[in-house]
A and B are shown apart, each in its own frame.
Chain A
Amino acid sequence: MRHIISILMENESGALSRVAGLFSARGYNIESLTVAPTEDPTLSRLTLVTRGSDQVIEQITKQLNKLVDVVKLLDLTEHRHIEREMMLIKLKVQDADQRAEVMRMAEIFRGHIIDVSAATYVVELTGDSDKLDAFVESMSHFEVIEVVRSGVMGIARGDVALKL
């Protein structure tokens, strides 16, 4: 099962490598990882996507909790939640038809074209990972020059919150 785990941890140098190191040392897989300080500058929020059986996920959350820098965590997949990822994708556009098609597709996916050059467009898109995958898929007959994805972040719906 795919899980999205959100972690609040001390915003200290080295804290991130403790999390990353834990995953490699214990052979857990990590699909994506995003991290940034929160409104409280002493805390960072890290979101990671991992896969594993229930037993593995239980060990992962226990081992994460055991890290001294980890203050609190929440397995978002256990709650109703919203998942978002941002993508920047640079496409080669050679003629007016292609430009029109990219614009149309971007609109359908509620994306924006944020950079234009003679032969390229950069599209910005947010959504859950499936949606981003679908967009890349639908651009398959274009030449994709670069894809940059932020990794997943998420937040629980309603009253559930990961805060101190």
Chain B
Amino acid sequence: MELTGAEIFVRCLQEENVDTLFGYPGGSVLHIYDALYRQDKVEHILVRHEQAAVHAAEGYAKSTNRPGVVLVTSGPGATNAVTGIADAYMDSVPLVVFSGQVPTSLIGNDAFQEVDTVGITRPCVKHNFLVKDVKDLATTIKKAFYVATTGRPGPVVVDIPKDITADKCEFQYPRSIKMRSYNPTVKGHPGQIRRAVDLILSARQPVIYSGGGVILSNASRSLTELTRLLNYPITNTLMGLGAYPSSDKQFIGMLGMHGTYEANMAMHHADVLIAIGARFDDRVTGNIEKFCPNARIVHVDVDPASISKNVKVDVPIVGQVDSVLKAMIKEIKAGERRPDPEPLENWWKQIDEWRSMDCLKYDRDSELIKPQYVLETLHRLTQGDAFVTSDVGQHQMWTAQFYGFDKPNRWINSGGLGTMGFGLPAAIGTQLAHRDETVVCVTGEASIQMCIQELSTALQYHLPIKVVALNNRYMGMVRQWQEFFYQGRYAMSYMDALPDFVQLAEAYGHVGMRIESPGDVEGALKEALDMKDRLVFMDFITDQSENVYPMIPAGAGQNEMILL
């Protein structure tokens, strides 16, 4: 039987087992919306702004490791989605974003709501397609899901002109797909794996530095097994938190600009660095010239272009983290050789000395609410088991430092692009994927206003998100840089004319709370967490002058941290 393009679209999503679609309608996608209306397998979530549709899909994807799916209309619908698409590109989030396009016959005519979506998104997608014939639609969608979810994941945009959604053809969904121009490597090269294992076992001052790739590769168990087998210290990037249990004694904290003293010092003094699914980002390396001066480096990454991009490595291994780690474990277990215990013991002693600096200390006796205290309490009350999304700024760093993540896929934030506005929509996508779990959005009073309209979406779909706003009446992260590097000239970093967030939450149909003293923090959090079926917006009035420590200033080496 012949189906319309719109019907084919819906069937394809069903074939891909898509249960949730984030979108916003408009002229060019009306046939598709009509086809969605006539089925009930794919649930469409109506956001209030297309940027939020993409962030919500990211939350869904990051918390499940399944692709997030988005549908927007042509023109402004597509351009509104661009920030989210760029965000997903930077953090390697598997997404398939469908955009409507003006009818084929009008393309290039400056038609109503026409933009060159394929052109605009090209630099921030893994790949994109313009469908020119309804006969290509199903195959293109199959390719889109395949490309988005394999290799190094990323966003794929499929632009569909309106006439294609009305045209008809036989529907057949391809069972599998092969593309001669796209063959991501899965398994690491056995010779390289042996070389890596040799180097790893010869280390005297090793550090395992793992990142988001471990989570994307579902490799948390293998990583934990390998780390325990070796008894080596491990540090995670911001994107890799939760891949190794942070409560474990071998975990030395996050590394990088706002990482722990012990993690950064260990990196600086390491003789062998084992980089796993991490991309040597400048927030991690600091000054490249001064980065890990003594280390020989093993790097496991599925994307060859990530390897030796910023830092030249000695043993590159291209492959999926999980399969490479399993091969390494097998190789080590098969042999007699184990790390030399004596230097390792000394290394641990040294690390414990760095640890004893207690670099994350803060004033616990303050009259004002310390943001760190809010997050520690949140961790305790949720037993570290909540899904936590965040926005961008100081509150993001404190969450990374103080909400010890023990499991992967629970920490959902925007690392590469650092997109303010990410937190709330990401929480929406996360909560939709995990209806019965606790989902918390940690945010700042500036970030939350970038996608605040999504409080309305949360109401519509009964999403009992707990918003923890750390309200310091500043763009704190900006203010901190101005304090440190611009002699306290706080240009435009003060948030004036703030709304009353309690009333605002209530106006959106939710519960609002304002918490102004440290003594009320725990009670408020408990009360909010107990409201299982309501979104609660907690406005914590925190210490305005608090800074994120430690900090590696831009251009400095990892051993040149500013401590409190």
Q: Is the CB of A18 within 8 A of B122?
A: yes
B181/A58 in contact, CB under 8 A: no
B residues near A18, Cβ cutoff 8 Å: 122
Task: Assess whether A66 is in contact with B122, with CB atoms less than 8 Å apart.
Answer: no
Contacting pair B181 A59 (CB below 8 A): no
In the assembled complex, which residues on chain B have CB atoms less than 8 Å from the CB atom of A70?
181
Q: Among the listed stretches A9-17, A80-88, A114-122, A139-147, which one makes contact with chain B, having 4 or more residues with CB under 8 Å of it?
A: A9-17
| B305 pairs with A17, CB closer than 8 A | no
Which residues on the A side are within 8 Å of B309 (C-beta)? Answer: 59
Indicate which residue in A10, A13, A14, A63 contacts B305 across the interface (CB closer than 8 Å): A63
Residues of B within 8 A of A66 (CB): 303-305
Q: Does B118 lie at the interface of the complex (its beta carbon under 8 Å from any beta carbon of A)?
A: yes
- A69→B130 CA distance, assembly (Å): 14
CB-CB contacts of A1-22 with B at 8 A, as 1s and 0s?
A: 0000000011001100110010
> Does A25 contact B181, Cβ atoms closer than 8 Å?
no
| CB atoms of B181 and A68 under 8 A apart | yes
Minimal beta-carbon separation of B404 from chain A (angstroms): 35
Interface residues of B in 106-138 (CB under 8 A from A): 118-119, 122-123, 126-127, 130
CA distance A14 to B180 in the complex (A): 17
Question: Is A65 in the interface zone, CB < 8 Å from B?
Answer: yes
Q: Complex formed: what's the CA distance from A9 to B127 in Å?
A: 14
Question: Which residues of chain A come closer than 8 Å to B39, judged between CB atoms?
Answer: none
Contact of B14 with A by CB under 8 A:
no
User: Bound complex: CA of A59 vs CA of B312, how far in Å?
Assistant: 12
By secondary structure, the A interface counts as helix
Is the beta-carbon distance between B130 and A14 smaller than 8 angstroms? yes
B177 CB within 8 Å of chain A: no
User: CA A159 – CA B130 in complex, angstroms?
Assistant: 38
A96-135 interface with B by 8 A CB criterion: none
Q: Which residues of B (178-234) have their CB < 8 Å from a CB of A?
A: 179-182
Task: List residues of chain B with CB within 8 A of the CB of A59.
Answer: 305, 309
- Do the beta carbons of B181 and A9 come within 8 Å of each other? yes
Flag whether B346 is at the interface (Cβ < 8 A): no
A68-B147, A71-B180 known; A25 vs B304 contact (CB < 8 Å) = no
Interface residues of B in 285-324 (CB under 8 A from A): 303-305, 308-309, 312
Q: Determine whether the beta carbon of A10 is less than 8 Å from that of B181.
A: yes
A164 at the interface (CB under 8 A from B): yes
Partner of B308, one of A13, A58, A164: A58
Assess whether A21 is in contact with B308, with CB atoms less than 8 Å apart.
no
The CB with the most chain A CB atoms within 10 A, among B122, B130, B303, B312, is that of: B122
Are A68 and B304 touching (Cβ within 8 A)? no
Q: B312: shortest Cβ distance to chain A, in Å? A: 7
Contacts of A63 in B (CB 8 A): 305
Contact with B along A50-82 (1 / 0, CB 8 A): 000001001100110110111100000000000
Q: Which residues of B contact A9 (CB under 8 A)?
A: 181
Nearest Cβ in chain A — how far from B137, in angstroms? 16
Q: When A17-B122, A68-B127, A68-B147 are in contact, do A62 and B305 touch as well, CB less than 8 Å? A: yes
Residues of A within 8 A of B304 (CB): 62, 65-66
Question: What distance in Å separates the Cβ of B122 from its nearest Cβ neighbour in chain A?
Answer: 6
Residue of B nearest to A60 (CB): B305
Q: What A residues does B118 contact at CB under 8 A?
A: 14
Q: Are A71 and B305 in contact (CB under 8 A)?
A: no
Distance A58 CA – B305 CA, assembled complex (angstroms): 9
Contacts of B312 in A (CB 8 A): 55
Distance from A93 Cβ to chain B, minimum over Cβ atoms (Å):
44
Chain B residue nearest to A25 (CB atoms) is: B123
Whole-angstrom distance between the Cβ of B157 and the nearest chain A Cβ = 12
B residues in contact with A68, CB < 8 Å: 126-127, 147, 179, 181-182
Contact of A21 with B181 in the complex, beta carbons under 8 Å: no
Name the distance in Å between A3's Cβ and chain B's nearest Cβ: 17
> How far apart are B467's CB and chain A's nearest CB, in angstroms?
36
Which chain A positions have C-beta within 8 A of B303?
A: 66
Query: From B184, which residue of chain A is reached at the shortest CB distance?
Result: A66
Q: Are A71 and B181 in contact (CB under 8 A)?
A: yes
**Residues of chain B contacted by A13 (CB below 8 angstroms):** 130
A-B contact pairs, 8 of them (CB 8 A): A58-B308, A59-B309, A66-B305, A68-B127, A68-B182, A69-B181, A70-B181, A71-B180
Give me the interface of A with B, judged by CB distance under 8 Å.
9-10, 13-14, 17-18, 21, 25, 55, 58-59, 62-63, 65-66, 68-71, 164
B residues apposed to A, CB below 8 Å: 118-119, 122-123, 126-127, 130, 147, 179-182, 303-305, 308-309, 312
Smallest CB-CB A-B distances: 3 pairs: A62-B305, A68-B127, A71-B181
Since A13-B130, A14-B130, A21-B123 are in contact, a sample of 4 more A-B pairs with Cβ atoms closer than 8 Å, ordered by chain A residue number, is A25-B123, A68-B147, A68-B181, A69-B127
